[in-house]
Amino acid sequence: MSVSDTMTKTARHFIPALPVRAVLPLIAALSALPVLVVAAFPSYLNIVVDKASYLVFHNVVEFFSIMVSLSIFGVGWFSYDQTKDRHALFLSCSFLAIGLIDFMHTLGNAAMPDLITPNSSNKSTQFWIAGRLFQGAVFLASAFIYAGSQKRWLTKTVLMTSTLLATGAVFAGVTFFPSYIPDTYVPGAGLTPFKKISEFLVIVLLSAAAIAYWRRMVKTGDRVALYYLAAFIIGIFSEISFAVYTKVFDTYNVLGHIYKVAAFFAIYKGIFIASVMEPYKRLRDVTVSRDEMEKEVRERIQTEKALMESEAKYRNLFNSMDEGFCIIEMIFDERARPVDYRFLEVNAAFEKQTGLQEVTGRSIRELAPANEAYWFEIYGNIALTGQPMRFINEAGALNRWYDVHAYRVGKPEDRHVAILFNDISRQKQIEEALSKAHDELELHVNERTGELKEAEARLRELNETLEQRVAERTAQLKAANASLVDSRRATLNMMEDALASSKNSRTFS
């Protein structure tokens, strides 16, 4: 998990999950309200505080803001070795410079003892403007520095050196070379144009920083940026207050300091979350993750144990089944045509089913150079399309027939094919013998049928001849019988005639 992701989750944990479009306008409205109220009722609210009271207020507020600045520095600086958050490191070193310059501003106040050279309102305000311009510039620059930034100059040594050089230059310039720095306050005249323009320039820098941080928050989803956006909005109203006050001790000056404290506190909250709360949250997450990891490890051990048991069962089944099994890797030529395949894994029955030995890692062309091309085409098509096939084919190179079920396994680009097969050569021989016997039987049946048909034809011919002869003989017998009857009848007639003649003769005698 990246630092930005962790910070985003941490921010969601510590910042109320309010809509950003509702939070920022609310902050702006609350920040604008005091200024607007004072501007609406100046005769009642824009008062001048007495010098002694203002000095106490000013010192308390400034020292509080200085402590906040130094706290921001301490949090970011001393937590860097653990967080490696370079955004927090940059801001923390920047706030060291801001705190030191504000310290110079506080000690340079006209009501305070002289700080090396005589104090004045102009001297104190020059320190103030230097601090605010530096603050606006570093806020804008920090919007483009991320926690995991790899820029080489974002190191403790470089940033600390730059901080000390910047504060040293401001101190030396305001203290020893004030004539080279434009006046910011003229007694009797008030704020100079340079001071007012500088305040508005700070407002521009803070507005640009707010826009940059808004884009950063939209890009990263890091709600910690809400604290910085709130600080910039409050800071803008602080600068407005300092740009419009007319007397050093009036209400606008007091409001400006109060705004400044609120803005610094918002920055402190952002740095504190990023550098202190975030590591503790990450530590809790790590603890929870460790418990979850231990649970996951236990579950994984149980899963692996079950997997090993399942694999052992699979291996036993793999090696004990009668069918041959293998996984092959198809080999294609430059035209994507299947030309060979290599055996990756085989079971114990493979040798019995094929007669091939020690095939793992070897290709079929090496083992059986005369292997038919259609095997490559079938397996190549399965490897490319993923369409399983069930078929029966002859492996002439092995002098065997196989019943094959082949399907693709693994990733498509691996071109692996699993083959489950059974040697059916004996069955094929029986089928061929039965087919041959059937053909021979059919031939004998056809031959016998022809003979029977031929005998039947001869019998039919003999029968017809016999019937003809019987008919002829019957006709002859009938004719002979008729002749015999006629002859007998004639004989009887003759005998009757003879008897009659005999009787007649006796009578006449």
Long-range contacts of 487-493, Cβ-Cβ distance < 8 Å, separation of 24 or more: none
Res. 18: pLDDT tops 70: no
pLDDT tier at 348, thresholds 50, 70, 90: confident
pLDDT at 274: 53
The 10s digit of each residue's pLDDT in 456-465 is 888 888 888 8
Determine the Cα angle at 108 with ends 107 and 111, to 5°: 85
pLDDT at 238: 81
Q: What would the mean pLDDT of 448-467 be, rounded to a whole number?
A: 85
Res. 237: pLDDT tops 90: no
Res. 1: pLDDT tops 50: no
pLDDT at 474: 86
Q: What would the mean pLDDT of 263-278 be, rounded to a whole number?
A: 68
Res. 446: pLDDT tops 70: yes
Q: Tell which wins on pLDDT, 508 or 69.
A: 69
Res. 468: pLDDT tops 70: yes
pLDDT at 405: 94
Looking at every residue in the chain, the average pLDDT score rounds to 82
pLDDT at 322: 81
Give, as one character, the DSSP assignment of residue 188: T
Res. 41: pLDDT tops 90: no
The 10s digit of each residue's pLDDT in 367-416 is 999 999 999 999 999 999 999 999 999 998 888 999 999 999 999 999 99
Judged by DSSP in three states, 91 sits in helix
- Main-chain phi, psi angles of 184, to 5 degrees: -115, -20
Residue intervals of the chain classified under CATH 1.20.1070 are: 3-282
Helix (H) or strand (E) holding 186: strand 185-186
pLDDT at 100: 94
Q: What would the mean pLDDT of 331-355 be, rounded to a whole number?
A: 91
The 10s digit of each residue's pLDDT in 105-159 is 889 888 788 889 998 888 988 998 999 899 889 989 988 888 888 888 889 999 9
Please choose, from the candidates 99, 92, 197, the residue with its C-alpha nearest in 3D space to the C-alpha of residue 154. 92
User: Which CATH number is 322-423 given?
Assistant: 3.30.450.20
Q: What six digits make up the tokens of 269?
A: 């909250």
Please choose, from the candidates 260, 272, 270, 254, the residue with its C-alpha nearest in 3D space to the C-alpha of residue 206. 260
pLDDT at 268: 76
Please choose, from the candidates 107, 136, 141, 138, the residue with its C-alpha nearest in 3D space to the C-alpha of residue 124. 107
Residue intervals of the chain classified under CATH 3.30.450.20 are: 322-423
Q: What would the mean pLDDT of 166-173 be, rounded to a whole number?
A: 93
pLDDT tier at 163, thresholds 50, 70, 90: very high
pLDDT at 248: 64
DSSP, residue by residue, 290-331: HHHHHHHHHHHHHHHHHHHHHHHHHHHHHHH-SSEEEEEEEE
Q: Which CATH entry fits the domain spanning 3-282: 1.10.1060, 1.20.1070, 1.10.3470, 1.20.1300?
A: 1.20.1070
pLDDT at 234: 86
Looking at mean pLDDT, say which of 133-147, 210-224, 303-317 comes out highest: 133-147
Q: What would the mean pLDDT of 196-216 be, rounded to a whole number?
A: 87
Q: How many residues does the chain have?
A: 509
Q: Tell which wins on pLDDT, 393 or 431.
A: 393
Give the whole-number percent of the chain exceeding pLDDT 70. Answer: 89
Res. 5: pLDDT tops 70: no
pLDDT tier at 421, thresholds 50, 70, 90: very high
pLDDT at 15: 46
Contact 119, 109 (CB under 8 A): yes
- Main-chain phi, psi angles of 50, to 5 degrees: -65, 155
pTM for the whole thing? 0.51
